Structure 1
């Protein structure tokens, strides 16, 4: 029987885990239940250090990260897992679905001391995941937008969409990223921006069951196999359809808000650099 994430409940017995009880704050005139990034509104106050709720969040996140890791490794190795109950991911779309639910819980916790290390670790693992699974552009960019929103907001101490102060930052940015965290974050996001260009230029594997696009996007889609002023499908040379243009824009926007926030925090020389998309 395949392992499925399921919905853990408060009555889980030994060896199980409990969904964190993280009540949402009362709605305000400046907030909505869910941002355009798809993230929920965080709870009103950070979890108390050492509290039962904090332990529940830690256990839940650790369990879900282990679940994602085991499914990814199963895909790479094909080796049977414990009890052979693990089904490997078929595509980045499947992994991203699991990941986005986990990102929602981490953001909902409203606790920077948990959010920052978990998100940095996820960002690092993400660079391994996207190179080891068949591409799923829509799901991949959706997860990256959530990570971008989280990092940029934590670097600023406020939500980048609503400008609401984040829980845990009542006494300023001291609760946020250290300089070491920022340098690590900068390295990870720059690596991701390069990897996304490479990965999105690859043909999807035949086993990728995520029906998101009719054809693979490549950096030189507009120029391939053309002769004369028009391409093989009678489009003007250099023409990009809406789907292709959308992918170009998504690639250019990977971690754009995070890099701007890092530039403000670390000083000159850090910002959104232009991603080179060439046919080479």
Structure 2
């Protein structure tokens, strides 16, 4: 099936992109890496839309320090996230996650902003954003605003983005002394979406656990975090199982996904030197 679009426009700057979306009256779609959008168009899941190409907006590329936070532009490609020295130093969880995403061809085109905006519940970067207590930056007709990652993801492929807004970046706290980052996932084949996955951050002696592939959104597993803070790994695994509401599909049953998540948490705890 061939993609059917209502037109194409290349944005000259952010203000131009916002005007183009406004003129589209709800039928505009932002084109960045295009790894999810173009597939949806080809499958007939989206059609008749005006594609607003933002790939030329250099302000949305690169990484910069902002006091004790790191600002990562929405157009940073997955492959660049994997190799950027500032990300490796200050947000190693993202550097670890990037090589897990799909295949090399997709990592060379797909963007971190596109992944966050697409909000696939099995994707790695949304879960990382939740585990890191990151903030999502959005720009729209009413200006710029920030939304906590824990509030940003609403449902499968649904976010807190308003009509006419563009995701411009992700703002992440820099690592503190002694901070640890780990992401692990289970997939049938390399490059497949995760059947279940966990992104874990230890900051200030406290754990943050975000599960992905196990429900409609990445989930911050607060009770499991409390159990792990107390050194109760088995209790954390039990709490994790209770918190998850995974789907049953051709990749695995809900029970199987819960089991995999527990196995991953045990492995992560062992890797981090927790008492198991």
Q: TM-score, normalised by structure 2?
A: 0.31
Q: TM-score, normalised by structure 1?
A: 0.31
The answer to which structure has the higher helix fraction is 1
The answer to which structure has the higher strand fraction is 2
Larger RCO: 1 or 2 (CA < 8 Å, sep 6+) = 1
From the CA coordinates, give the structure whose radius of gyration is larger. Answer: 1
